[in-house]
Each structure stands twice: as structure tokens, then as C-alpha cells.
């Protein structure tokens, strides 16, 4: 079993740079170590926080009164099946390094997810998505340690219950430790059909066109850098957890109510009759522009959805106060409650 350290500050392990000390902290370098560490803590009734790259976490200033297990398991294996390549990746692998490898190998299906920070094991948790792709389109299986049953299970994609920035894992938080993810990718030098308008425009192609994988990756990275969405120590706007709010998905009644308050507002009509509304539009039109500051925290100067801790000196309480102000302002103006995307540890919105 790996060493346990006491009182390790968590802020350096999160991209938002917030979080007090963990009562105990350890790193798991093999699947067996990861399972044994979590199982032992569960037997001792010790709270566990599984930590990936810390890019989707707001950890409270008091820290975590339990065991933080940082996932550091490595390994990528590729096999061929029915003309596709099945890539099985250990949870601790860096996501963007995996995407870069897929692009270099000619494995198509995740190229538009270039530049998303964090580790592979976290990608199924919130069904990571960007620029018209999300991992639900390629995940074939997820190997988990089910803490409730105390056993390792292989879940099919259907069992993962993927939806927009959501999955069965989020529905039942903490129950599953993701050990490895298998992605089914197409062997092709071309990207999947480009499905996102802004990306198509940047590439100078029509929606539905396919472009060389490396071009898709570069275009996505350029777009993301312009929005402060690629981690960069030199760019204070990237001291964030990415988008802090998801785009609200409204039922017919809520959508009709919003239409009355904001006739002609931007919207995406979904096939199931719901209406997705850009959270960034709601936030801006509720009076919170890019760069809006509150003490030491602010809305990114490049991207309305990202709340940032530019100097890294603010705590989670300050950040949450800004999040609340934005959320309440949007509700007051538009009657819509925004929902946070990052996982909140020891804090509430």
C-alpha cells in the first residue's frame, strides 16, 4: 500500500487553486493499489475523495476530513475489432496526452476533445464534451470498482447512463472508482463529422465535413486558447474549473416562461422537446460581463462561463460568493436557476 501523508494542502492539486489540507493523502499507482486503498478506507468508515487532475473540483477552505486518493495508474493498450480500434486506458493517464496520441496514430473520434484538462478516469464522470463531441460517443466500456458491492465490474456504455455533462456516476456520487476506460475509435486519418458551427467556421468547412485529424486538433486548441480553456500557467484566466455552469435544459413550460421574459433569446431546440439555453448568454444579459470582479475572484476576461481565481490567493468561499451572485442574478432576471458543473467538496452553492 502507498504511503499516507497527513495535512497535504489540496489547493496545488486543483486548477482553481482552492482547498485546505487533506487529513490523509496518498497516490495509487496500480489498479490493485487503488482498489485496496479505497476498500481499506471504506472498511474503516473513512471518507474518501478520489482525485484526478483536480480540474473539475471546488474544494472548501477547511480541506477534506478524510483520505484523498490521487489516481496515478498508467497504461494504454490498443486492439483491433471489426475495423475499429479499442483503446483501453488506465484512469490516471492524462486525457490530452491520450487525445494527442489518438490523433498521431490515426484513431478518430476524440480529436475535438483536445485540450480538456484532467485524467482519463474522470472523462466518463461528467461525460466530458466540447466542440460537438463528448465521450459518450466513443466510450465502449468502463471498468470500475463498485464500493457498495465491493467488487470490480465492467460497465457497458448503456450502463453508464450518459447524458449532457451527466452520467450514472454523477447520479450516484462516490459509488464507483473508475479504474480504466475503453474507447472505440475509427481507424481514419479524418476527424468525425464536424458538428460545431464555430469549429466549422474556423476550419473553413461546412457542418458535417471531415478534416485531417491534426487540423481538427489544432483548430480546437486555438479556439480553446482564445477562451482561456487550455491550462497555461502564464494565463490567469485558466485558473478555473472550466465552465462553472452548465447550459440549462428547460422543459416546455420553463422554456415558454423564458421566452416571455426574453423573446427571441438564443436556444437550441433538442430532439426530445426540451430547450437548451446558453448559460453564457443568460449570465451576460443578467449584467455579468467578462472580467466582472468580486474581490480576488472574477469571471474570466475571455469566457463568461469560467469563474477564476487569477492570483490563486482567493479561497473557495470567495469563489462561491461570486458563483452565488451570478446564479441569483440570472434567476432574478430570467427565472432560471443555473447548475454548477464542477464537483463541490465541503461547500454548497
Q: What residue ranges bind ligand FAD (CB under 6 A)? A: 15, 49-57, 71, 91, 116-119, 121-123, 125-126, 128-130, 176-178, 229, 231, 238, 240-242, 343
Between 98 and 184, CB nearer to ligand FAD: 98
To the nearest whole angstrom, how small is the minimum distance from the Cβ of residue 71 to ligand FAD? 5
Q: Which of 108, 240, 243, 300 is catalytic?
A: 243
- Is 206 catalytic? The answer is no
Q: Which of 165, 224, 298, 327 is catalytic?
A: 165
- Nearest Cα neighbor of 217 from 326, 133, 128, 307 is 133
- Is 341 catalytic? The answer is yes
Between 172 and 206, CB nearer to ligand FAD: 172
- Is 324 catalytic? The answer is no
To the nearest whole angstrom, how small is the minimum distance from the Cβ of residue 124 to ligand FAD? 8
Residues in the chain: 349
To the nearest whole angstrom, how small is the minimum distance from the Cβ of residue 205 to ligand FAD? 21
To the nearest whole angstrom, how small is the minimum distance from the Cβ of residue 56 to ligand FAD? 3
Q: Are 125 and 163 in contact (CB under 8 A)?
A: no
Cα–Cα distance, 243 to 245 (Å, whole number): 6
Between 117 and 248, CB nearer to ligand FAD: 117
Between 123 and 334, CB nearer to ligand FAD: 123
Name residue 21's beta-bridge partners: 9
Q: Which residues are catalytic?
A: 165, 243, 341
Amino acid at each position: 500500500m502507498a504511503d499516507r501523508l497527513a495535512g497535504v494542502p489540496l489547493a496545488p492539486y486543483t486548477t482553481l487553486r482552492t482547498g485546505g489540507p487533506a487529513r490523509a493523502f496518498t497516490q495509487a499507482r496500480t489498479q490493485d493499489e487503488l482498489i485496496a486503498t479505497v476498500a481499506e478506507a471504506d472498511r474503516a468508515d473513512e471518507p474518501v475523495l478520489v482525485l484526478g487532475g483536480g480540474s473539475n473540483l471546488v474544494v472548501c477552505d477547511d480541506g477534506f476530513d478524510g483520505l484523498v486518493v490521487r489516481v496515478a495508474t498508467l497504461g494504454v493498450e490498443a486492439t483491433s475489432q471489426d475495423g475499429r480500434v479499442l483503446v483501453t486506458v488506465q484512469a490516471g493517464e492524462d486525457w490530452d496526452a491520450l487525445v494527442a496520441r489518438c490523433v498521431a496514430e490515426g484513431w478518430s473520434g476524440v480529436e475535438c476533445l483536445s485540450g480538456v484538462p484532467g485524467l482519463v478516469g474522470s472523462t466518463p464522470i461528467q461525460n466530458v464534451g466540447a466542440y460537438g463531441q463528448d465521450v459518450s460517443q466513443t466510450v465502449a466500456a468502463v471498468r470500475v470498482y463498485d464500493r457498495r458491492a465491493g467488487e470490480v465490474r465492467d460497465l457497458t456504455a448503456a450502463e453508464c447512463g450518459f447524458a449532457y455533462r451527466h452520467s450514472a456516476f454523477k447520479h450516484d456520487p462516490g459509488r464507483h472508482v473508475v479504474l480504466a476506460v475503453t474507447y472505440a475509435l475509427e481507424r481514419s486519418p479524418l476527424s468525425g463529422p464536424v458538428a460545431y458551427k464555430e469549429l466549422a467556421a474556423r476550419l473553413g468547412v461546412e457542418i458535417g465535413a471531415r478534416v485531417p485529424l491534426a487540423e481538427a486538433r489544432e483548430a480546437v486548441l486555438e479556439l480553446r486558447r482564445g477562451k482561456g480553456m487550455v491550462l497555461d500557467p502564464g494565463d490567469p484566466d485558466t485558473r478555473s474549473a472550466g465552465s462553472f455552469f452548465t447550459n440549462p435544459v428547460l422543459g416546455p413550460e420553463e422554456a415558454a416562461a423564458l421566452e416571455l421574459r426574453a423573446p427571441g433569446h438564443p436556444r437550441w431546440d433538442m430532439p426530445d422537446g426540451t430547450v437548451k439555453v446558453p448559460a453564457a448568454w443568460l449570465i451576460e444579459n443578467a449584467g455579468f460581463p467578462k472580467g466582472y470582479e468580486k474581490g480576488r475572484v472574477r469571471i474570466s476576461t475571455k469566457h463568461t462561463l469560467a469563474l477564476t481565481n487569477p492570483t490563486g490567493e482567493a479561497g473557495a468561499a470567495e469563489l462561491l460568493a461570486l458563483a452565488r451572485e451570478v446564479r441569483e442574478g440570472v434567476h432574478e432576471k430570467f427565472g432560471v436557476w443555473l447548475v454548477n458543473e464542477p464537483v463541490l467538496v465541503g461547500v454548497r452553492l
